[in-house]
Structure 1
Amino acid sequence: MSKRSFPWSGFVLAVAACTILATLEIDLVYVGLVLIVWIGSLYLVAARPPEVKEVSSGRAFTRDNMADLFEHSETPVVITERDRVVIANLSARKLLGGHIVGQDVRMALRQPEAIRLLERNAEGGAVVRGLARRTDIWRINRKTLPGELAVIEFVNKTAEADIARAHTDFVANASHELRTPLAAIIGYVETLREDVENLDPKMADKFLGTIQREAKRLQDLVSDLMSLSRIEAEKHDLPEHTLEFAKLAERAAHDAAGGNRSKWLDFEATGEFTIRGDQQQLEQLVRNLVDNGFKYGSPSQPVTVRLHPKGQNRLRMTVTDRGDGIAPEHIPHLTRRFYRTDPGRSRASGGTGLGLAIVKHIVERHRGRLDIDSTLGEGTRVTVTLPLEREEAET
């Protein structure tokens, strides 16, 4: 760092001031001391380096400030000098290990795509897989800096890829589910039209019954898809309305039981439970659970619905059937879209494969919890826990 030029204007001012003091008959010893101190202070100011350094003038300054700048960034960032890691922020050390500082970055990554990017010694990006875990997907971006430095940024693309894959799977599954009833409807309609005049009335009625059943299944599937779409769109919005859940649940449970099944519904609530919720979604939640209980439970055994308080701030609703039960390996997957433990039985009973997926999203929107327990040969119990309105008011 070069020193500043001497401030000659200040020197001239000091000499002029001391000359005036001398003309005022001030002791020349004092005048000389003033001149010496004044000139000395000017020299110190001229010799002192600037407060703010140029970035290009001090490599240590650059590294220290870069380290402070990137240390707590959520994005892993590595800074290299001649391909050797000199700085790795906290996220990068968690991703690649603290030992990477001081290593050749190519040895730290051990990824052919990344190594090719680094060996080109140019700016750009590369997508690598399995950087931390086998299924991870990362985009590595490299930016060169003066002084043979480079900034390497790691952007996690795993969640984005998972969402895209889930979207593709959902479209494929939905297309398959829609195509199945459509194929049945088209097939039976074509059969009816081939020989309308000579077709036996009983056979025609049977065909028309199948068409009606498949059309109803198609209608239910489209309705559930639309419901799921609306619920997912609103899942981050807290419900605003206050309602009494026991009365709502009893009404929805009887609607789901309907007709001949009502005598097998055993409903009991031990009080009134005021919550904040979306009435339409909560009714759908209860209907789906009770309907599942009747579909998959024993036809000669009741489906029980119980509402009880859980602690001071929550309510618990359990829906229990006494059917064949569900094998343990299926339980973690039951809330996935279109997942069925027995596809043939589900379709025969009119199930769309979306009922529990809808229930899960409704519970999540209402900040609740969903638990499913089942024992083979005994039945299944679904438990929904929801916050009471007073808990929401306190928070």
Structure 2
Amino acid sequence: MNCIYQGHCVFPEVVDEGCVAEDRGALKVVASRLRAGWRFLAAAALVAAASYFAGAQPLFSLVLWLVSLLSVILREPSPPRLPETQAEPVQAGEAALPQMEAVLGALDLPVVVIDGDANMLAQNKAAEKAFGSLSPGLHISTRWRSPGILDMIRETIETGEPNQIEHSERLPSERVYIVRSTQVENLANARPRLFLLSFRDVSELRRLDRMRSDFVANASHELRTPLASLRGFIETLQGPARGDPKAQERFLAIMLDQATRMSRLVDDLLSLSRLELKAHIAPDQKVDLVPVLGHVRDSLAPLATDLGVDIRLHLPEGKVEVLGDRDELVQVFENLIENGCKYGQEGKVVDVYLRHGEGVPVEVSVVDHGPGIPVEHVPRLTERFYRVSVADSRSKKGTGLGLAIVKHILTRHRARLIVRSEMGKGTDFTVRF
């Protein structure tokens, strides 16, 4: 039988090949330990010899040297020493920065990464597009000098709490941002600490709020004027003009005119409201513009005759189709041609051109030969209640909403309104699909 105890054969009379192999391995271990501890054994031998010559018993010197020998043979081998490597400590904040940049690059919100000293470390593509390239390492004040932003960042760095303010920029265009500063929470104990500065563009929301308030103010003003006229004439008819048939006839005609004006204003306001509700839905029906323009010309013929204006159509052969809503396109061209007749009345002619071709967008141009529009008024023509001449507009029974309705309809149709005007030569309103 084989009896193994700690790797050594304890019954040499019963030996097999496995036990012999183990003995050889044990002898190698003992030899390697003796080689490793030869300095200690030599020192022990010198100590034993010195003690013998100093008068110690020989047995004591021999036992001392044997104990040293056994301590060398039976000692535990020391673990191998691994080669030391010089590694620079990696800071958690710096190590996480590339991953943060990759994530922030996918956001459409401008974001800037700063450290605890308010120095810029990185920016995403949206921030680069909005504010230009920012140099890493520069202080945040080199780009934003707003005291509000700098105080907000300073407070966030000191307290670790998020903050936000509203910030406006005038150049290169007027923009309004909600600026928010916050610390990266999962790296709160990292060095250096990282902070995010985000910019949410609310320019359109502020513009819409301003337009809405202006619209309410203008609409109430436009309605208040005819209502005041109606009230005054009614009081006159009830009082001094109660028994005057001529005055009653004249006042009733004015009252009818004012009531008609209010009716047109309410209709235009309702049209704008309906258009705003479906402004994001593009029409998908095909509309042939040739019969549409013919219908508009026929419907405005009585007005043109009264004004002494001739509406001339210049139409191509065959169909010219666009994606659109027929009723809304009729409203667009009615507004444009009616304006041409009213405000270009001096030219006596309103020309309507329909152009199309291979690879060329469909265009409809309404050209009058009137006095023209001063260049400073052209960019604002489609604003609600904006008038080049208030007196001229009211005398022609305009509500100030016609071109605003045209703009909303064309926006829904993914079309553009191009205005060209020259004083003394007339105005060209072109709808490009």
TM-score (norm 1): 0.77
Tell me, yes or no, if structure 1 residue 210 matches structure 2 residue 254. yes
Out of 155, 172, 182, the position equivalent to 1:143 is 182
Displacement of 1:244 = 2.2
**Which residue identity does 1:169 align to in structure 2?**
D
**Deviation readout 1:299-319 (Å, 9 max, x if unpaired):** 571222232324455432222
RMSD across aligned positions (CA)? 3.2
Tell me, yes or no, if structure 1 residue 304 matches structure 2 residue 351. yes
Distance in 2 between the 1:265 and 1:173 partners? 33
Q: Structure 1: where are the runs of 5+ without partners?
A: 1-14, 16-22, 33-42, 48-55, 387-395
**Which residue identity does 2:413 align to in structure 1?**
H
Displacement of 1:210 = 0.7
- After TM superposition, the structure 1 = structure 2 runs for residues 1-395 of structure 1, keeping only pairs within 5 Å, are 58-85=92-119, 87-90=121-124, 91-95=126-130, 98-106=133-141, 108-120=143-155, 121-122=158-159, 123=161, 124-130=163-169, 135-144=174-183, 145=185, 146=188, 147=190, 148-198=193-243, 200-258=244-302, 260-261=305-306, 264-271=310-317, 272-298=319-345, 301-312=348-359, 314-386=361-433
Change (3 A) 1:252 1:98: closer
Distance in 2 between the 1:381 and 1:306 partners? 10
Displacement of 1:350 = 0.5
SS at match of 1:109: coil
**Which residue identity does 1:81 align to in structure 2?**
D
SS at match of 1:337: coil
Displacement of 1:143 = 1.9
Distance in 1 between the 2:240 and 2:428 partners? 50
SS at match of 1:285: helix
Distance in 2 between the 1:26 and 1:328 partners? 111
| Aligned position for 1:393 | none
Q: Which has the larger radius of gyration?
A: 2
Query: Is the CA contact 1:78–1:85 (under 8 Å) kept in the aligned structure 2?
Result: no
State the identity as a percent: 32
| Aligned position for 2:44 | none
Query: Is the CA contact 2:284–2:324 (under 8 Å) kept in the aligned structure 1?
Result: yes
Query: Is the CA contact 1:320–1:382 (under 8 Å) kept in the aligned structure 2?
Result: yes
Deviating more after overlay: 269-278 vs 185-194 = 269-278
Displacement of 1:72 = 4.1
Distance in 2 between the 1:312 and 1:278 partners? 23
Displacement of 1:132 = 6.2
Change (3 A) 1:178 1:330: same
**Deviation readout 1:177-204 (Å, 9 max, x if unpaired):** 1212122112211211123533x21111
Distance in 2 between the 1:78 and 1:93 partners? 9
Distance in 2 between the 1:93 and 1:332 partners? 30
Distance in 2 between the 1:297 and 1:173 partners? 26
Query: Is the CA contact 2:236–2:242 (under 8 Å) kept in the aligned structure 1?
Result: no
Query: Is the CA contact 1:96–1:132 (under 8 Å) kept in the aligned structure 2?
Result: no
Q: Structure 2: where are the runs of 5+ without partners?
A: 1-6, 8-15, 26-78, 84-89
Displacement of 1:263 = 6.9
Distance in 2 between the 1:80 and 1:363 partners? 44
TM-score (norm 2): 0.71
Query: Is the CA contact 1:109–1:131 (under 8 Å) kept in the aligned structure 2?
Result: no
| Structure with higher RCO (Cα < 8 A, 6+ apart) | 1
Query: Is the CA contact 1:242–1:277 (under 8 Å) kept in the aligned structure 2?
Result: yes
Query: Is the CA contact 1:254–1:265 (under 8 Å) kept in the aligned structure 2?
Result: no
Query: Is the CA contact 2:120–2:140 (under 8 Å) kept in the aligned structure 1?
Result: no
Change (3 A) 1:85 1:76: farther
Query: Is the CA contact 2:114–2:121 (under 8 Å) kept in the aligned structure 1?
Result: yes
Change (3 A) 1:163 1:300: closer
Displacement of 1:163 = 1.8
